[in-house]
């Protein structure tokens, strides 16, 4: 996260006067930062970089109701807004919306609406390509470049790269996000499970809220807590199977939110493994596994959610099993193997 913060600060200093999104402080999300990464030898450090609109612009989230993919999807409309109240050397400065000369100059320069949008909507792929180009052009200006060798990896909806220093190697994936209000819920550029996702579509993500939940649990857990080892073992056992590690993570979060932390000591390891598998089995039989964050009245108060998200019916992560009997049969067989 320090590395990505250094990169975004460099971008901010060098492009402060351009109409481009303003990268904010990076947030470490996912298994590597939560402490249970199943792949010890090739950990992926995934970070979310929130984007704020530049001066004279605003981001407005619009729910995408056209798609039939699971989950909630949004489009990020970019709009110009008046900022004429700015003062410069005691004089009122007209914004680019109301100053024809400024508007023409900005349009001729590198601008957000002209370069990173499709129509009026922020484009995921164009934003990713913009970040790639900045990484490539500005890497040598960073202090990390003296110690680490950068290799950019191909990806359309996130910025992936590898850092090497002698025998040490790190894989990093940078996702981009737009915050929903002041909450811990974002829409992000993360890849979806759909075969085709329009480049103007951003997926709602609960990764920041989930990371904060694991931090909350870490403060409550006994010194010899087994919850991370339990999740790591199950996740490694899932390699090559039909279940995603996110399914097991959701199961584990539900258990952590209901079983007292005093019952997660090392001596409880086997019982907690059994509980996890029993919970998964019951969910498969019912074809129902509720999302952890949405509609959860028991989620810790320090996790900042929009009020309506605590009250809505939680999405069913096993919705596809209700639609496809063959998929349900396969999932039950995979469970028996697990």
* Residue 85 and residue 2 share a domain: yes
Q: Which range marks the domain in which residue 234 is found? A: 221-337
User: How far is 115 from 283, CA to CA, in rounded Å?
Assistant: 46
User: What does the pLDDT look like over 255-297, one tens digit per residue?
Assistant: 999 999 999 999 999 999 999 999 999 999 999 999 999 999 8
- Which CATH number is 167's domain given? 3.30.460.90
Using DSSP's 3-state secondary structure scheme, residue 195 falls into: coil
Query: Which residue from 150, 134, 148, 183 is spatially nearest to 15, judged by alpha carbons?
Result: 134
Query: Which residue from 139, 127, 141 is spatially nearest to 174, judged by alpha carbons?
Result: 127
Q: pTM value? A: 0.88
* Residue 156 and residue 287 share a domain: no
**C-alpha Rg value of the chain to the nearest Å:** 22
User: What does the pLDDT look like over 13-50, one tens digit per residue?
Assistant: 665 556 788 889 899 999 999 999 887 667 899 999 99
- Of 206, 229, 246, the position where a domain reaches its end is 206
* Residue 231 and residue 132 share a domain: no
* Residue 332 and residue 275 share a domain: yes
Q: CA-based angle 135:140:145, to the nearest 5?
A: 95
- Which CATH number is 315's domain given? 1.10.1410.40
Q: What pLDDT shows up at residue 108?
A: 42
Please check the confidence at residue 107 and state whether its pLDDT lies above 70: no
* Residue 156 and residue 240 share a domain: no
């Amino acid at each position: 996260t320090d590395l990505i913060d250094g990169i975004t600060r460099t971008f901010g200093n060098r492009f402060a006067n351009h109409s481009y999104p303003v990268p904010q402080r990076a947030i470490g999300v996912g298994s590597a930062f939560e402490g249970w990464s199943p792949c010890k030898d090739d950990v992926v450090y995934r970070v979310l970089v929130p984007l704020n609109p530049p001066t004279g612009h605003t981001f407005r989230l619009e729910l995408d109701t056209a798609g039939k993919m699971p989950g909630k999807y949004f489009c990020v409309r970019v709009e110009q807004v008046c900022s004429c109240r700015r003062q410069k050397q005691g004089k009122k400065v007209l914004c680019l919306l109301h100053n024809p000369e400024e508007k023409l100059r900005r349009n001729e320069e590198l601008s957000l609406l002209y370069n990173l949008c499709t129509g009026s909507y922020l484009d995921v792929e164009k934003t990713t390509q913009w970040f790639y180009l900045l990484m490539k052009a500005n890497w040598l200006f960073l202090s990390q470049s003296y110690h680490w060798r950068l290799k950019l990896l191909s990806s359309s909806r996130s910025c992936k790269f590898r850092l090497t220093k002698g025998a040490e190697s790190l894989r990093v994936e940078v996702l981009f996000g737009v915050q929903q209000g002041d909450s811990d819920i974002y829409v992000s550029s993360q890849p979806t499970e759909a075969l085709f996702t329009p480049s103007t579509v951003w997926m709602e993500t609960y990764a920041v809220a989930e990371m904060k939940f694991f931090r909350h649990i870490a403060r409550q857990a006994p010194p010899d807590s087994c919850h991370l080892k339990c999740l790591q073992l199950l996740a490694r056992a899932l390699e090559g199977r039909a279940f995603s590690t996110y399914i097991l993570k959701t199961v584990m979060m539900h258990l952590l939110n209901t079983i007292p932390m005093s019952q997660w000591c090392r001596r409880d390891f086997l019982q907690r493994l059994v509980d996890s598998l029993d919970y998964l089995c019951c969910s498969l039989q019912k074809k129902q596994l509720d999302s952890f964050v949405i509609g959860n009245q028991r989620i810790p108060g320090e996790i900042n959610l929009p009020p309506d998200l605590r009250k809505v019916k939680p999405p069913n992560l096993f919705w596809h099993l209700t639609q496809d009997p063959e998929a349900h049969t396969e999932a039950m067989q995979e469970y028996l193997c697990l």
